[in-house]
């Protein structure tokens, strides 16, 4: 670690749970973020600020005026630009030392498996069930930790899945494969700060996984009712008959 890094990350390094060793783990980490929107924006911003070594972001969309209410990595002059270009520029201005690879593509099939197999942690910041189930299958296959987040209307949730460790359930244990495709921000709306709250928690859980500190949300589903400002936690158990992880 050079002098600039010691100063940049000094407020983290002074935490006894992190120290120099933990920061070195972050600098060596490779993260995969799927989605550069409402959740992916704050998650990527905080992870880059915290000093992860490298990050790959996939998104196949362009910046639209309606995105700017909550997708804080993008700005008014980015309208019409690929989200991956916009977010890469934002992250580069924040911390040019982090290697950010941004790909305009819907990540699926063999490419999804290849990326998941190379990642230390995967953050699911997507907004549709088919993608979420595909990400989960790949993470189970390669036993890659998965941090899943969702936000809609005034409701948010975060869960962590660590396949092969701590008897962790998987996303398919929580939801069956018949999810409602109409449950997204485009059709139901979302309050702006909610995506920031959930995306930030995803970033925090990813950092804890990389450094191996504290207790993650493995085996728990964290729920936020933003209107009542109430947090609730549900315990999740592994489903022995789960079509994705039941045989493991």
Strand partners, 116: none
Residue 50 lies in a domain: yes
**How many whole angstroms separate alpha carbon 102 and alpha carbon 125?**
14
Residue 243 lies in a domain: no
Q: What is the pLDDT of residues 124-141, one digit of tens each?
A: 999 899 999 999 999 999
Using 50, 70 and 90 to split pLDDT, how confident is the model at 181?
low
Contact 32, 119 (CB under 8 A): yes
For residue 185, what pLDDT is reported? 63
Of 63, 134, 157, nearest in space to 102 by CA? 63
**Number of independent structural domains in the chain:** 1
For residue 186, what pLDDT is reported? 67
Q: Which residues constitute the domain of residue 63?
A: 3-235
Average pLDDT, the chain: 95
Q: Which two tokens stand for residue 167?
A: 């008897």
pLDDT higher than 60, residue 119: yes
Q: Which of 173, 185, 242, 245 is catalytic?
A: 185
Using 50, 70 and 90 to split pLDDT, how confident is the model at 187?
confident
Residue 245 lies in a domain: no
Q: What is the mean pLDDT of residues 79-83?
A: 98
Using 50, 70 and 90 to split pLDDT, how confident is the model at 188?
confident
Residue 153 lies in a domain: yes
- Our CA dihedral for 56, 57, 58, 64, rounded to 10 degrees, sits at -160
Residue 177 lies in a domain: yes
Residue 247 lies in a domain: no
Contact 123, 77 (CB under 8 A): no
Cα 218-176-154 angle, rounded to 5 deg = 70
- Overall size of the chain counted in residues: 248
242 is catalytic: no
Of 150, 139, 114, 120, nearest in space to 35 by CA? 150
- What CATH number is attached to the domain comprising 48? 3.40.50.720
Q: What is the mean pLDDT of residues 174-188?
A: 69
Q: Is the pTM of this model over 0.85?
A: yes
pLDDT higher than 70, residue 6: yes
Q: What is the pLDDT of residues 95-107, one digit of tens each?
A: 999 999 999 999 9
Could you tell me which residues come within 8 angstroms of residue 162 by beta carbon, excluding any fewer than 6 positions away? 145, 146, 168, 209, 216, 218
The SS3 call for residue 103 is strand
For residue 103, what pLDDT is reported? 97
- Our CA dihedral for 235, 151, 29, 171, rounded to 10 degrees, sits at 40
- Asked which of 21-30, 69-78, 168-177, 189-198 is least confident by mean pLDDT, the reply is 168-177
Residue 142 lies in a domain: yes
More confident position, 183 or 60: 60
For residue 246, what pLDDT is reported? 87
For residue 18, what pLDDT is reported? 97
pLDDT higher than 80, residue 169: yes
Strands (E), the chain: 30-34, 54-58, 99-103, 121-124, 146-152, 155-161, 220-225, 230-235
Residue 22 lies in a domain: yes
pLDDT higher than 70, residue 180: no
Strand partners, 213: none
């Amino acid at each position: 670690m050079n002098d600039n890094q010691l100063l940049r990350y000094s407020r983290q390094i002074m935490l006894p749970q992190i120290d120099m060793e933990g920061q070195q783990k972050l600098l060596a980490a490779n993260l995969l973020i799927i989605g550069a929107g409402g959740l992916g924006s704050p998650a990527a911003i905080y992870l880059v600020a915290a000093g992860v070594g490298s990050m790959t972001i996939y998104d196949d969309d362009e910046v639209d005026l309606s995105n700017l209410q909550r997708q804080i990595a993008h700005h008014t002059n980015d309208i019409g630009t690929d989200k991956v270009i916009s977010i890469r520029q934002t992250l580069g201005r924040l911390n040019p030392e982090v290697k950010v690879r941004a790909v305009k593509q819907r990540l699926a099939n063999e490419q999804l498996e290849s990326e998941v197999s190379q990642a230390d942690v995967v953050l699911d910041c997507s907004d549709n069930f088919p993608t979420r189930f595909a990400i989960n299958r790949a993470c189970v296959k390669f036993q890659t930790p998965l941090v899943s987040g969702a936000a809609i209307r005034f409701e948010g949730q975060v869960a962590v899945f660590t396949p092969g460790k701590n008897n962790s359930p998987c996303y398919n244990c929580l939801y069956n494969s018949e999810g409602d495709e109409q449950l997204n921000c485009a059709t139901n709306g979302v309050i702006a700060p909610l995506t920031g709250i959930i995306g930030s928690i995803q970033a925090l859980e990813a950092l804890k996984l990389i450094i191996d500190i504290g207790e993650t949300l493995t085996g728990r589903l964290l729920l936020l009712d933003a209107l009542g400002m109430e947090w609730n936690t549900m315990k999740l158990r592994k489903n022995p008959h789960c079509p994705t992880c039941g045989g493991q």
